[in-house]
Amino acid sequence: MVAPSQAARPAVRPGLCLITLCLAVLLAQLDTAVVNLATRPIGDHFGAGVAALQWVLDSYNLTYAVLLMTGGLLADLHGRRRGFMIGVGIFTVASLICALAPSVALLIAGRALAGLGAALMLPASLAIVRVVFTNPAERSRALGIWAACNGLALALGPTLGGVLVDRLGWRSIFLVVVPLGLAALAAAPAYIPESADPGGRSFDLTGQVLGAAALGLLAGGAIALHGASHLALLLFAASLVLFILFAMAEARRGSAALVPPDLFAAPRFCGAIIATAGMTFGMYGVLFLLPFTWQATGRFDATGAGLALMPMALTFVLVSPFSGRAEAAADTRAVVAGGLGLIGLGLGVIGAGSGSLIAAEAGLGLTGLGMGLATGPLMGAAVGAVPAARSGTASALINVARMAGASIGVALLGALHALAGEGAAGLRLAMLAGGGVQIACAALAFVLMAEDQSSTKA
């Protein structure tokens, strides 16, 4: 275990540290972006149906969401750089397994293993930003760049993924991320300082089991909505029961809990959690349904669908580095609520003009603008609302919100799409519903993030 006073800290070069962390963000987000475009070719290759293809996406999201809290706690207890490097290594190996998978079952297993790697890697990455950049203004700028890597992955992923699928086959999309993983592993020991803050905490087995089971049942229920509504209701009910038991168990452990209850005493932190889940609910719904609809109707092949998604990705990557300036000019809640409102407007435009490419491109541009404004400030609000010693846990929770929103968004909006008969009608219903969720979350975030506009002390 690495205690704060005993950690061997290399000379911190914040710029190179941030670049190394951004490689991990690119690694995970590029993987997610390209897999969305490969679902149809994968299905054709293995003769897999929609249910199996859904698990190619959701096995990653489910494992990631279930294990994120474990990853965040382990980073705080045993070393954030250590957790980061182990996660990158697992993710890289999992990508190779996916590339070589002889069956859809092994591909799904490889995706689940990649989710484990991401669950260790990404909360550690965000926690390291919190620890290295102690000045709130510098942290905002760093998180704007960190968030821009999400947009860069979205910009590169669809185009690169489409070209790779069309020219080299779907297996190549898993190989393309391997060099990024190797580069991050090589750079981390030199440029990332080790840090850990056990603070009297230990591995909370009861909390881990209850939390993982509750999140797993929640995501499983969302997935089951596609064809087994009664099973979905049972899973949701069981998830609610486990969440209640989880909250009771954590309350008894107090500050030693996996998720200390006092984290949720900060309205700013709660607002960031709600807004993040809402944002990814709509974002991943668009990334799943729009290319699927375009390819199913014959409007675009995989490459064309990737190029058509570019307005969202390019706007995201161009705006994100400046989100810190927007936050300095206005308070955080205004930037966050405004960003979510723009995403909601974008989804509404796509839905209202479903079937129109012009409407789709305009809506994607608005969605990218909202994401670029909101992502960095949301990450900063979450980790800045807690002491640095809790940064791994806070990072895990904000990422739980991201991936829970993504899993539920793909499942629920996908179910609405199917319920309306797919095609233009299905896309319209799904996008209008997703836009409504954005507006509701924007309003909640604006209210909850009104208090405590200053970041928590380092």
- pLDDT tens, residue by residue, 22-69: 888 888 878 777 787 777 788 888 887 766 777 787 788 778 777 878
Cα gap 90→409, rounded to integer Å: 26
Give the model's confidence band at 254: pLDDT under 50 very low, under 70 low, under 90 confident, else very high: confident
Contacts 24+ apart (CB under 8 A), 270-273: 270/448, 271/333, 271/336, 271/381, 271/444, 271/445, 271/446, 271/447, 271/448, 271/449, 272/336, 272/378, 272/381, 272/382, 272/385, 272/398, 272/401, 272/445, 272/449, 273/382, 273/397, 273/398, 273/401
- pLDDT surpasses 60 at 1: no
Mean of pLDDT over the chain: 82
- pLDDT surpasses 50 at 393: yes
pLDDT, position 81 = 92
Ordered by start, the domain boundaries in the chain are 14-189+260-448, 205-259
- pLDDT surpasses 60 at 354: yes
Give the model's confidence band at 345: pLDDT under 50 very low, under 70 low, under 90 confident, else very high: very high
Mean pLDDT of 191-195: 88
* Contacting residues for 251 by C-beta, under 8 A, at least 6 apart: 257, 261
- pLDDT surpasses 60 at 359: yes
pLDDT, position 145 = 85
Give the model's confidence band at 362: pLDDT under 50 very low, under 70 low, under 90 confident, else very high: very high
pLDDT, position 458 = 44
Q: What is the DSSP secondary structure assignment for residue 254, as one 8-state letter?
A: G
In the three-class reduction of DSSP (H, G, I as helix; E, B as strand; rest coil), residue 241 is classed as: helix
Weakest mean pLDDT among 10-14, 139-143, 271-275, 350-354: 10-14
pLDDT, position 291 = 83
pLDDT in tens, 116-129: 999 899 888 888 88
In the three-class reduction of DSSP (H, G, I as helix; E, B as strand; rest coil), residue 29 is classed as: helix
CA angle 319, 268, 153 (to 5 degrees): 30
- pLDDT surpasses 80 at 134: no
Mean pLDDT of 265-279: 88
158 touches 309 (CB < 8 A)? yes
Mean pLDDT of 309-331: 83
Weakest mean pLDDT among 173-182, 257-266, 270-279: 257-266
Mean pLDDT of 75-96: 91
According to the per-residue pLDDT averaged within each range, which of 7-11, 65-69, 205-209, 268-272 is highest?
268-272
- pLDDT surpasses 50 at 2: no
What percentage of the chain carries pLDDT values higher than 90?
Answer: 19
Weakest mean pLDDT among 216-225, 269-278, 365-374: 216-225
AA identity, residue 289? L
What percentage of the chain carries pLDDT values higher than 70?
Answer: 90
The model's pTM is 0.76
14-189+260-448 CATH choice from 1.20.1250.20, 3.40.50.300, 4.10.520.10, 1.20.120.1200: 1.20.1250.20
Higher pLDDT, 344 or 393: 344
According to the per-residue pLDDT averaged within each range, which of 184-188, 217-221, 303-307 is highest?
184-188
Tokens of 80: 């954030």
* Contacting residues for 291 by C-beta, under 8 A, at least 6 apart: 36, 37, 158, 300, 302, 305, 306, 308, 309
Higher pLDDT, 421 or 16: 16
Mean pLDDT of 75-95: 91
pLDDT, position 318 = 87
